[in-house]
Amino acid sequence: MASKTIDEQDYYRRVYGGWLGKNIGGTLGAPVEGSKELLHLTFYPKLPDGPLENDDLDLQLVWLHALEQYGARLTAIELGQEWVEHVFFPFDEYGYALTNLRRGLTAPVAGWFNNPFTDCMGSPIRSEIWAMVAPGAPHVAAYYAYQDAIVDHAGGEGVYGEMFFAAIESAIFIETDRDRLIHIGLQHIPSTCRTAKAIHDLLRWHKEGKDWLEARRLILEHHGSSNFTDAPQNIAFTILGWLYGTDFEDCILKAVNCGYDTDCTAATLGAILGMILGPELLPERWVSPVGDRIVVSPQIKGFPAPATLDELTHRTMRAGREVLATWGAEVEILEVPKTVTDLWYTPFTANRYLLPQGTRTTRLGLELTIDYGMDGPSIGRGGTKQLSLTLVNHSREAWNGNLDWQLPDRWSGSGARPFTLAPGGVLTWTDTIHAPEVISVTNEIALIIHRTHDNAQWSKETVQFTLLAASRWQISGPNESVMQTVDFAGDRIDFSNALNTAMPGKYTAVSKLVNPSEQAIRLIAGTANPVKVWLNGTILFEDDQETEFMPAYHRSPRSKMHELRLAAGTHDIRIEIMKDEKPLELFILPILAENLSKIGEFFYLTEIYFDAYAPSVLAE
C-alpha cells in the first residue's frame, strides 16, 4: 500500500476516539469482571458520573509518561523502572513481575521467572498507546508492544496478544476494513501461538455461519481456561464482538456479554471502534455518562497524569511525532519486517545488554547476552549456577581485553578470561558461579569487560545483574517417609520433576520460614488440591476440597491462606498435599497482609525466605 500522509485533524479524532472508546468499554465491563456465565447487559450495569478507574487505561498513562521522560528509544528496561516507581498494582502477573523487579531482575527475565500468569490479559489491554504514537506503522507499534509486554508476560501469550492489538490499532490510521485489519494483526504474531489459533478458529466458525452464542461456546470448548484472565479466550471474545456486532453498541455488548475478563474485552474493542469511527460517530447515550474526564486508580502514583481525554490526546500526539521522526517510519502498511518476527523467538530466559551503558535500540557497540536457562536467575546455598554468555562486536573497531567477575564475598567464578573480538565478531562461552552456604536473598553479580588498547588498560564496562537464593525444602511423596532436600528456583514446589513421579498420593514439603522482622503476613498455599499447612507444629489452615488453581497475591481462595502476625525469627513450616491423576501445582507465597500496608495491599515480602537448614535463631 502506498504511503499516506495523516492529516492532523484526523490524527486527533482517531486518537481521541480511541481513548473515549477505551473509557466507555472499560466502564461497561468493569462491574462484571470475572463473571464466567453468559451475560445479558444492554447498557452500563452501573451508571457512573464519569468513567470508572481501570488498569486498562491507567498503565498507558504511565507509558505516556515514560515516552515523555525517556524519549522514543525507550525499551523494556525503562518500562520496568516505571513499574517500580509508579505502579503499585499487586494483581496476578503485575504482582509477580513487580516482585522480580524489586529484587533487581530486569525484563524479559523479570517478566517470566516464577510467574504463572504470563498467558494473561495484563498486557494485551495496554496496546493503544503504542499504536497511537506509531500511526500507520504497525511494525513499530508491535515492537513497542513487545518491549512493554515482556516486563510482566515474557514467554507467554500476553506478549502476542499485545502485539496483535497494537498492530491492528496502528493500521487503523490508514486502513479501516475489519477483515484486513485482523489479517494485519495476525501477521504480527506467530501462527503457532494459542492466540492466533483461537482467532483463526473463530474466523472459520464465523465464515461457516455459526451464530455468536455458538462461537462463544466453541471458544470456551477449544481455547478456554478456568482463569478468567487467560488471554486467548478473551482476545477471541473481543474479535467475536467485532465480527458479529452490527454497530458500536452491539459490538461492545456482544463482547462483554461473553463474560470472563469483561473490562478488557469491552475496553479494547471500544478503543478499536472509537479509532475507526471517531468520537463524532460514537452514540451519545454511551458517551454522555463518561464524558471527557480521566479517573486514575490510587495505585498509580508519582507523575502528572492527564486530567482529560483532550489533554491525553494532545500529549499522545506530541509523543507520536517524536516516535515517527526517531524511527523514520513512513506512514504505510508494510510487509511485516524481520525485526518484528525475530522478537517471537528472542529467548525469555536471557537478558541482553547493549554497550556502552546507555545504548538502547541501536546496535553500534558491544552486545552481551546472559542466558540463565530454564531455572532462571536462581542459585542454591552452597550451589552453582551455569550461565551461557554471548558477546558480539557491532562496532567497526576491534575490541581486546579480558572478562572477569565481580562477586560477593566468598563467591567464586572462573577468573579472568582474555578475549579478542574483530568487527562483527561473536564470542560464546559458558561460565559457572559458585555460591557459599550463607548467601543473601538477592545477590549482586557483575561481569567486568576490561578493554585494552596498545597493551594498556583503556576502559571498562560493568554489567550488573542479580542472582536470587533458591528456596530449600525437604520433600517426599507419594506416601513416602524418606525426605529429599531440593532447591527450587522460585515459589513453586515442583514435586513431579524433583521426585520424578506423578503418582497420586500424599506429598509432603518441610522447610524453615525465615522472617527478619515482626510483621503481618498472608501465607498462601497456591494450589487446586486438598492441602494442610502447619506452622511451628500447629495447624495453620487446611482445606480438604479441590478449588481453582489461583496463586495470585490478592485473589487466592480464602480456604488456602491464613493471615497472622508473625514474630521475627525462624519458623518450622510443613505442608501436606493430596494429588489425584491431574498435574500437581503448588506455590508458597508470603504476602503483606492488607491491614498493615502503607503503600498498597498484597505485596510480596521479598525479605522472607525458605531454607530447610536455616538456624533456629537469625544470624546477626
pTM, two decimal places: 0.94
CATH number at residue 413: 2.60.40.10
Element (H, E) at 442: strand 442-453
pLDDT of residue 359: 85
Question: Does a structural domain hold residue 3?
Answer: no
pLDDT of residue 310: 98
pLDDT of residue 2: 42
Q: Which of 109-113, 202-206, 326-330, 485-489 has the least mean pLDDT?
A: 326-330
Instruction: Give the mean model confidence (pLDDT) for residues 589-606.
Output: 77
CA 557 to chain centre: 22
pLDDT band at 133 (very low <50, low <70, confident <90, very high): very high
Residue carrying C-alpha cell 514435586: 495
End-of-domain residue from the set 468, 497, 520: 468
Look at residue 485 and give its three-state secondary structure.
strand
CATH number at residue 153: 1.10.4080.10
Amino acid (1-letter code) at residue 1: M
Question: Does a structural domain hold residue 267?
Answer: yes
pLDDT of residue 596: 47
Q: Pairing mode, if any, of strands 505-515 and 484-488?
A: unpaired
pLDDT band at 3 (very low <50, low <70, confident <90, very high): low
Give CA–CA dist 513/15, Å, rounded.
Answer: 51
Question: Does a structural domain hold residue 616?
Answer: no
Instruction: Give the mean model confidence (pLDDT) for residues 458-468.
Output: 95
pLDDT of residue 335: 66
With a cut of 70, say whether residue 79 has pLDDT above it.
yes
pLDDT of residue 47: 79
End-of-domain residue from the set 468, 499, 520: 468
Number of C-beta neighbours around residue 315 at 10 A: 18
pLDDT of residue 228: 97
Give backbone dihedrals phi and psi of 75, rounded to 5 degrees, phi first.
-130, -175
pLDDT of residue 479: 76
Element (H, E) at 523: strand 519-526
Number of domains in the chain: 3
List, in sequence order, every beta strand (DSSP E) within 115-159.
Answer: none
| Nearest Cα to Cα of residue 600 among 72, 67, 157, 89 | 89
Reported as a single tens digit per residue, the pLDDT across 296-339 is 999 999 999 999 999 999 999 999 999 999 988 766 545 688 88
Q: Percentage of the chain surpassing pLDDT 90?
A: 88
Question: Does a structural domain hold residue 618?
Answer: no
CB 365 within 8 A of CB 398: no
Element (H, E) at 162: helix 157-171
Q: What is the mean pLDDT of the chain?
A: 94
Question: Do 115 and 28 reside in the same domain of the chain?
Answer: yes
Give CA–CA dist 127/124, Å, rounded.
Answer: 6
Q: State the angle between helix axes of 262-277 and 231-244 in degrees (0 to 180), rounded to the nearest 10.
A: 40
CB 303 within 8 A of CB 65: yes
Give CA–CA dist 594/553, Å, rounded.
Answer: 11
Instruction: Give the mean model confidence (pLDDT) for residues 137-158.
Output: 97
Question: Do 64 and 50 reside in the same domain of the chain?
Answer: yes
Q: Pairing mode, if any, of strands 378-379 and 456-469?
A: parallel
Instruction: Give the mean model confidence (pLDDT) for residues 167-189.
Output: 97
pLDDT of residue 397: 92
With a cut of 60, say whether residue 1 has pLDDT above it.
no
Q: Percentage of the chain surpassing pLDDT 70?
A: 96
With a cut of 80, say whether residue 51 has pLDDT above it.
yes
pLDDT band at 358 (very low <50, low <70, confident <90, very high): confident
Reported as a single tens digit per residue, the pLDDT across 361-407 is 777 899 999 999 999 999 999 999 999 999 999 999 999 999 999 99
Question: Do 158 and 105 reside in the same domain of the chain?
Answer: yes
End-of-domain residue from the set 452, 468, 484: 468
Question: Does a structural domain hold residue 31?
Answer: yes
Question: Does a structural domain hold residue 311?
Answer: yes
Q: Which residue has the higher pLDDT, 601 or 294?
A: 294
Question: Do 76 and 216 reside in the same domain of the chain?
Answer: yes
Question: Do 482 and 385 reside in the same domain of the chain?
Answer: no
Per-residue b or e along 281-295, where b marks 16 or more CB atoms closer than 10 Å to that residue's CB: ebeeebbebbebebb
List, in sequence order, every beta strand (DSSP E) within 214-258.
Answer: none
With a cut of 80, say whether residue 483 has pLDDT above it.
yes
Question: Do 273 and 329 reside in the same domain of the chain?
Answer: yes
Q: Which residues pair with 162 in a beta bridge?
A: none
Question: Do 242 and 360 reside in the same domain of the chain?
Answer: no
Domain that holds residue 190: 8-343
Question: Do 432 and 484 reside in the same domain of the chain?
Answer: no
Question: Do 383 and 404 reside in the same domain of the chain?
Answer: yes
| Nearest Cα to Cα of residue 568 among 613, 604, 534, 619 | 619
Question: Do 323 and 390 reside in the same domain of the chain?
Answer: no
Question: Do 325 and 407 reside in the same domain of the chain?
Answer: no
Question: Do 183 and 277 reside in the same domain of the chain?
Answer: yes
pLDDT of residue 600: 62
Question: Does a structural domain hold residue 1?
Answer: no
With a cut of 90, say whether residue 349 has pLDDT above it.
yes
CATH number at residue 543: 2.60.120.260
Question: Does a structural domain hold residue 403?
Answer: yes
Reported as a single tens digit per residue, the pLDDT across 560-584 is 999 999 999 999 999 999 999 999 9
Instruction: Give the mean model confidence (pLDDT) for residues 205-216.
Output: 98
pLDDT band at 599 (very low <50, low <70, confident <90, very high): low
